Structure 1
């Protein structure tokens, strides 16, 4: 049965709904994040917002506090879902290394050459050369601002960081939702803190004139105020930090890695354009179709290295037409020689014993112990049917024991 992409995915991601939702390997942390949002809101609705329903009699404005709280909470959870359950910008892995950049290191004798790749390449970004790295895991050169996440084991485009609270990498396709999630969580904390303070104020204006008595009357409000105040240091600080990154067109990875280097930020296009790029640009479609059927890849032909192209005269016959013609000419000269000594002079002057030894060592040497005649008819048969091995053919070319009959 054919498998789908999410079933054979090589990364550490987890899939739900048959590949429709993709999470990181630490997706269980989402339950903690959801609990940190939902539980305080439930406490607020039960112990605080319920008592504020009738504090604003005109137009029943007290009910708006409860409605806003529930709507705002749902909005934050939707942003959390969009951040954590979609492709952050994963670049598909290559099935084989790039052939145009491969080279073979054969400096070590008697060893198989190993494939070598340039670790860096230069690409132009806004007219400025930028170095990109080769990823051994994904077998590709990473695009600019791309990095390999060691947790998800994927190369992510415009990689910002891996957030354990959402259980997903933050990249090009979900960074906008991540920022909205963080900033909305900050606003929710501010809202709950303000409404709890307002309730304490109403208690002090009523039967509990002091702060201590009002806090004893509504301990839930005190707990929520402390919780929201602590949370504001995290989500509020994160919101401010990412606001700075957006205005300067940086990522968290770039800021932490290159903050000590006084290098030029080639991606900075001005504060306004940087903000427009994040919030007003169209989100690119995913490069991966996780529900697609995996096609069987045909095996690649074996690579031929330069050292394998050498002529192995003992294993392969001569196939060129020019070589065949030279054999015919030599055989014709041999068949036409009446004087053996004259042939010695033209072939280099080797002694007859050396040719005899060469013939006797080759395959079928038993047939050459006695002089064999070569006639023109046999030469023609030899030309039409070349099934003789190369050692025998060489012996026929150089041997001095043949004469025309």
Structure 2
């Protein structure tokens, strides 16, 4: 009896290990997302920390001089949120479905009778459902009729067979080609956070996006406040720069337009544009160390350094704003990105363009459910 029990335990362990082989783990616990995206996770984390360091060095110290310490302190405290939420997303298992040994119903249909298919399918799916009951997964289809695609529903809402994992995927689950496993409530695979976004880390992913956008927005506000206090210096330095270096600057800009470089969308053209944009800023920043009127200025009072950081922050703001908007829209209608894409394909195929309309109360219920739904237990054996 003990040997039989040990046999089934070994099978479960082997299936679990194979199901989660895409993740970076330590002693069976997921410590980071997909192994292939480990560099992406480190890169995203480094990028966030770099922006925080730039803020603390060049923007934060000016708050005391310009009399808005409270805003700067709030931003400095909130800067920790994107790091914490990023680690929460990457270290949370997204809801991977365990692999099985279910034969392909289509291949079986060509070889054996329908009655035998139904009987064998019932036995296999019942065993698989019982094994996953503690993990609160959606029940697997138990008859051949349910295996057939419902023509009145998009594919994402039907039970579908996965040839890789050899299981019947429940409704709203999909296979991630990058990680090579099925995920319950699959939204998409995010290369920035280095893992799949599924039912278990979908909420954490949105909180990461929202916290990042809030911090970037507050930082942008302080940068603009700094520039509003430094606008006279910007004007005087810009005039002084053109007085001292007008001929070289005009020659560079004139040569660029005469050569017609703006017609060629090449990396060289982008590099020239960056040089032409940064050269006056760098030159004007150097003037602050030359002119007597600016020699006593501290490094963070240099307006052109503030301009450079403002541009960097603005780029991230313009990137995060639509990403947040799209994900919040999907949540407000109670669907993932994968569900929306599947529905769009379905409506285009049947040539029906009248999509369901959503009410304010429905949007409120969807948002309330998103922030309060119980996160199911991971199928990864600790």
Quick check: TM above 0.5? Answer: yes
The verdict on how the C-alpha distance between 1:6 and 1:19 changes in structure 2, with shifts beyond 3 A counting, is: farther
Q: Give the counterpart of 1:15 among 24, 30, 38.
A: 24
CA contact under 8 A between 1:122 and 1:130: conserved in structure 2?
no
Change (3 A) 1:265 1:78: farther
Q: Is 2:173–2:185's contact at 8 Å kept on the other side of the alignment?
A: yes
Q: Are the counterparts in 1 of residues 186 and 197 from structure 2 also a CA contact under 8 Å?
A: yes
Q: Partners of 1:195 and 1:6 in 2: how far apart? A: 52
Q: 1:188 to 1:78 in 2, by over 3 A?
A: same
2:179 maps to 1:152 = yes
Question: Residues of 2 paired with 1:190 and 1:147: CA distance?
Answer: 34
Equivalent-residue separation in structure 2 for 1:283 and 1:231 (angstroms):
30
User: How big is the alpha-carbon RMSD for the aligned residues of Structure 1 and Structure 2?
Assistant: 3.7
**Which of structures 1 and 2 has the larger relative contact order (alpha carbons within 8 angstroms, sep 6+)?**
2
Q: Does 1:81 align with 2:90?
A: no
Q: Offset at 1:67?
A: 2.9
Tell me, yes or no, if the aligned pair for 1:12 and 1:151 is still in contact at 8 Å. Answer: no
Q: 1:5 to 1:185 in 2, by over 3 A?
A: farther
The residue that corresponds to 2:204 in the other structure is: 177
Query: Does residue 1:92 correspond to 2:129, yes or no?
Result: no
8 Å Cα contact 1:147/1:159 also seen in 2: yes
Name the SS for the 1:15 alignment partner.
strand
Report the structure, 1 or 2, having the larger helix content: 2
Match of residue 230 from structure 1: 315
- The TM-score with structure 1 as length reference comes to 0.58
Q: Which has the larger radius of gyration?
A: 1
Q: Do the aligned partners of 1:34 and 1:77 also contact (CA within 8 Å) in 2?
A: yes
Question: Which of 241, 244, 250 is the matching residue for 2:329?
Answer: 244
1:20-31 equivalence runs, <5 A: 20-21=29-30, 22-24=32-34, 25-31=36-42
- Conserved in 2, the CA contact under 8 Å of 1:163 and 1:170? yes
**Ranges in structure 2 where 5+ consecutive residues have no aligned partner:** 1-8, 113-119, 122-142, 240-280, 286-301
Q: 1:51 aligns with which of 56, 62, 66?
A: 62
Q: Which residue of 1 aligns with 2:274?
A: none
- Gap regions ≥5 residues in structure 1: 108-114, 292-405
Distance (Å, rounded) in 2 between the aligned partners of 1:210 and 1:130: 64
Provide the aligned length of Structure 1 versus Structure 2: 272
Is the 2:184–2:198 contact (alpha carbons within 8 Å) kept by the matching residues of 1?
Answer: yes
